[in-house]
Structure 1
Amino acid sequence: MLVRARSSLWMLLGFSLVIYMGHLYICALVVGIQIIMARELFTLRKQAYEDKKLPGFRILIWYFFFTAMLFAYGRFISRQLVNTVTSDKLYYKVVGGLVKYQMVICYFLYIAGFMWFILTLKKRTYKYQFGQYAWTHMILLLVFAQSSFTVANIFEGIFWFLLPASLIAINDVAAYFFGFFFGRTPLIKLSPKKTWEGFIGASFATIISAFVLADILGRFQWLTCPRKDLSTGWLHCDPGLPFKPKSYPLPGWIGDYFPWKEWSVMPIQWHALALGLFASIIAPFGGFFASGLKRAFKIKDFGDSIPGHGGFTDRMDCQMMMAVFAYIYHQSFVTSQGFSVELILDQIINHLTDEEQHDLHFQLGKILRGRQEELLLLLE
């Protein structure tokens, strides 16, 4: 427990420093963790004897990984990338072209890797090669595809990265301590140390923490403002209605005992309860999946990168599911469902040629002039 606590303290200090440094540094941390997780998982099925007979095969596996990274991150941060180079016309055209044809570029990069795989197939190693090919794609699907949503959450506002990640950590720690002191009833065979007492106690602790943490984190613009480019400057913005407190009147009998007449709550705190519920009930199944995977390979931990904790995969198993849910929840229930002027302008600038933009300007002018003439006729 002492080794585990010491490692947790160092991770917390380092994590806090990265949060303070801003969005790009957090993204760099996420990418670094993803690479380490991929290395830990690729190593599980690595067979040195077979790899010696297949020079370059490990490079092919990492080629697929970085192609997937280019596709996922290109989709999530294309707008921020374009906004960063708007001051330079040449860079703007180059980056705009890359963004426009990003899907085509990534597709043919993948096809090139697929052809590379076919051309490297060797007799007597077919089973191993196809096994590694399938294993690589499972890693991309279960690890990279899910955790890449973390980057999308970061640019929507550090709040949407920090709160879900914190809730998973709180749930993990609470489950450990509730299970250690009160655990009696086994929860699931895949994880013999997990108990119902730890699971239920951690659920209550996580949901309460979600409500309180949302109130604390929601007060800082540095955490709530979305990042619209790839700069590192300080952020100032209108936090929006979810982060503006609303007052609710309290029942009259409470005033007989306490001096409060109303209760001020941010709407985001009610949303945080949904995140806390998911983090405490659904996200742990990511950990159970990881436990089953370790049992299948007969290992205790995925690695030894973090003393007392195992590898990074051991610590990030629940974070992946949480990142996807946080992104989907934010897009479905928090952000405006309509088309904002900013979004429309972004689509026009990034996806229309100069000639198409001029034509759009002409057509809009024609429509507005027609409406103005109709209005003048009505006034007459």
Structure 2
Amino acid sequence: MTELRKRGAAGGAVPDSTDNLSDKAWTRSWSCEGDKAETPDVPPSSADTDNTPECFNKALEGLPRGINYWIRGVLSVAMIVGFFLMIYLGPITLILVVMTVQIKCFQEIITIGYRVYRSYDLPWFRTLSWYFLICVNYFFYGETLADYFGALVQREEPLTFLSRYHRFISFALYLAGFCMFVLSLVKTKYRLQFYMFAWTHVTLLLVVTQSHLIIQNLFEGMIWFIVPISSVICNDIMAYLFGFFFGRTPLIKLSPKKTWEGFIGGFFSTVVFGFLLAYLLAQFQYFVCPAGYNSETNSFTIECEPSSIFELQEYTLPSALQNTLGWETVQLYPFQIHSVFLSSLRLSLDPSVDSLPAALSEPSKSKTLPTLSRVMEASWTV
């Protein structure tokens, strides 16, 4: 990447001989130049820096440690209250929040490629990236809206037409974008343009697919959104606390501040937290019922006969636990058992999923990408 910046600054366009390089020669040239690069060109590792937004760092700079912690505590409480308020406002508000985070994450990842290859003046790169985002969102959410807003769609003739030919329209939109990409190709920049074309599609796969899964689960009941998201929040807090007080053994090299003690402490704390939270939420129809659209009132209704996984059932304990606890049976919601596996799956992927945003944010020196990606992590557990 250092080589690309230097070449772009010196001559602007890539020499024609670049196109004749093999993949191995191209990779080798990057590696050699990267080894010789000066220290200022290498961005600091995001794992070693504070991920607090820059505006907060400037505001808190110079304050005594006690006041600093107090302000951070107040802001944390404010964010928790805001999260509760979004839950109170219902699934539509949560869907808008997920869409906002999706767009911001896409913008952050696309910016990584744009900053690296900006000096090459690739034609239509950013325009095509956002165009493909619109196409993919139209494809995914068009069918979702047709399923859950069926009464409204059938009532309006334009919406009926769009629903009937939705997949054909989506395919036509994508083909139009593909044709625009072909028309934008420049002979001396083929390799870079195909790199960025693939970069855009991988970003769409990672970001849009996950947000689509989250929204699908939101329509099936907010409990499928709240429990995974709350598990992510709880794990971050407990892993930090256990690591701060007991951390001694580094977990992975990419994130040197993460420790085995924090990982294990956060794991068990999150499993217990998810188990208890599932018990609490499973008692209320507001959280467990799928969201339905009422054509008469033009509003969402959350009323239903709860599914069997949200009804108390009696389970026989293993003999070892019977001798220890003195109980033969226990009453649980089946969803509580689901929550244990959801938390375990999410936490088993924690080191890898945690490190991916940190690695991606290094080329662009982004401080917001690791923070935004925390919300997207919940889709790995649903």
Please, what TM-score do these two structures have when normalized by structure 2?
A: 0.72
How far apart are residue 101 of structure 1 and its match? 2.3
Whether the aligned pair in 2 keeps the contact of 1:80 and 1:228 (CA below 8 Å) is yes
Within a 5 Å distance, the mapping from 1:139-150 to structure 2 comes to 139-150=203-214
1:188 and 2:255 aligned: no
1:282 and 2:349 aligned: yes
User: Per-residue displacement from partner, 1:192-217 (whole Å, max 9, x unpaired)?
Assistant: 11110011011100111111010111
The change in CA–CA distance for 1:283 and 1:121 in structure 2 (over 3 A counts) is same
Query: Counterpart of 1:176 in structure 2: which amino acid?
Result: Y
1:31 and 2:99 aligned: yes
1:315 and 2:371 aligned: yes
Q: Secondary structure at the match of 2:331?
A: strand
Q: Secondary structure at the match of 1:191?
A: coil
The change in CA–CA distance for 1:59 and 1:19 in structure 2 (over 3 A counts) is same
Q: Secondary structure at the match of 1:185?
A: coil
How far apart are residue 319 of structure 1 and its match? 4.3
Match in the other structure for 2:194: 130
Structure 2 distance, partners of 1:45, 1:8, is 33
Segment of structure 1 superposing worse, 12-21 or 28-37 = 12-21
User: Per-residue displacement from partner, 1:126-170 (whole Å, max 9, x unpaired)?
Assistant: 344333222211210112212221110110111111111111111
How far apart are residue 173 of structure 1 and its match? 1.3
Pairing partner for 1:60 from 122, 128, 132 = 128
Match in the other structure for 1:179: 243
Query: Counterpart of 2:230 in structure 1: which amino acid?
Result: S
Match in the other structure for 2:55: none
The change in CA–CA distance for 1:24 and 1:104 in structure 2 (over 3 A counts) is same
The change in CA–CA distance for 1:143 and 1:233 in structure 2 (over 3 A counts) is closer
Pairing partner for 2:335 from 249, 263, 268 = 268
User: Per-residue displacement from partner, 1:280-338 (whole Å, max 9, x unpaired)?
Assistant: 2124421122223234x273xx33xxxxxxx1x31343543531441xxxxxxxxxxxx
Pairing partner for 2:313 from 226, 230, 246 = 246
The change in CA–CA distance for 1:269 and 1:257 in structure 2 (over 3 A counts) is closer
Pairing partner for 2:89 from 21, 24, 27 = 21
Whether the aligned pair in 1 keeps the contact of 2:228 and 2:381 (CA below 8 Å) is no
How far apart are residue 120 of structure 1 and its match? 1.6
The change in CA–CA distance for 1:61 and 1:218 in structure 2 (over 3 A counts) is same
The change in CA–CA distance for 1:101 and 1:284 in structure 2 (over 3 A counts) is farther
Following TM superposition, the consecutive aligned residue runs of length 4 or more in structure 1 with deviations greater than 6 angstroms are 249-252, 254-261
1:216 and 2:283 aligned: no
Query: Counterpart of 1:317 in structure 2: which amino acid?
Result: S
Structure 2 distance, partners of 1:117, 1:325, is 35
Structure 1 distance, partners of 2:74, 2:344, is 29
Match in the other structure for 2:148: 80
Whether the aligned pair in 1 keeps the contact of 2:95 and 2:215 (CA below 8 Å) is yes
Structure 2 distance, partners of 1:50, 1:298, is 12
Structure 2 distance, partners of 1:177, 1:99, is 50
Pairing partner for 2:80 from 8, 12, 20 = 12
Query: Counterpart of 1:81 in structure 2: which amino acid?
Result: F
Pairing partner for 2:293 from 226, 229, 254 = 229
Segment of structure 1 superposing worse, 116-125 or 5-14 = 5-14
Q: Secondary structure at the match of 1:197?
A: helix
Whether the aligned pair in 2 keeps the contact of 1:219 and 1:243 (CA below 8 Å) is yes
Structure 2 distance, partners of 1:185, 1:154, is 38
Q: Secondary structure at the match of 1:208?
A: helix
Match in the other structure for 2:56: none
Q: How many residues align?
A: 311
The change in CA–CA distance for 1:108 and 1:85 in structure 2 (over 3 A counts) is closer
Match in the other structure for 1:206: 270
User: Per-residue displacement from partner, 1:26-68 (whole Å, max 9, x unpaired)?
Assistant: 1111111111111212222224984794564422211011111
The change in CA–CA distance for 1:183 and 1:226 in structure 2 (over 3 A counts) is same
How far apart are residue 233 of structure 1 and its match? 3.8
Match in the other structure for 1:99: 163
Match in the other structure for 1:163: 227
Structure 1 distance, partners of 2:139, 2:206, is 16
Structure 2 distance, partners of 1:318, 1:203, is 16
Query: Counterpart of 1:40 in structure 2: which amino acid?
Result: E
Structure 2 distance, partners of 1:133, 1:6, is 43
Query: Counterpart of 1:243 in structure 2: which amino acid?
Result: F
Match in the other structure for 1:293: 360
Segment of structure 1 superposing worse, 117-126 or 196-205 = 117-126
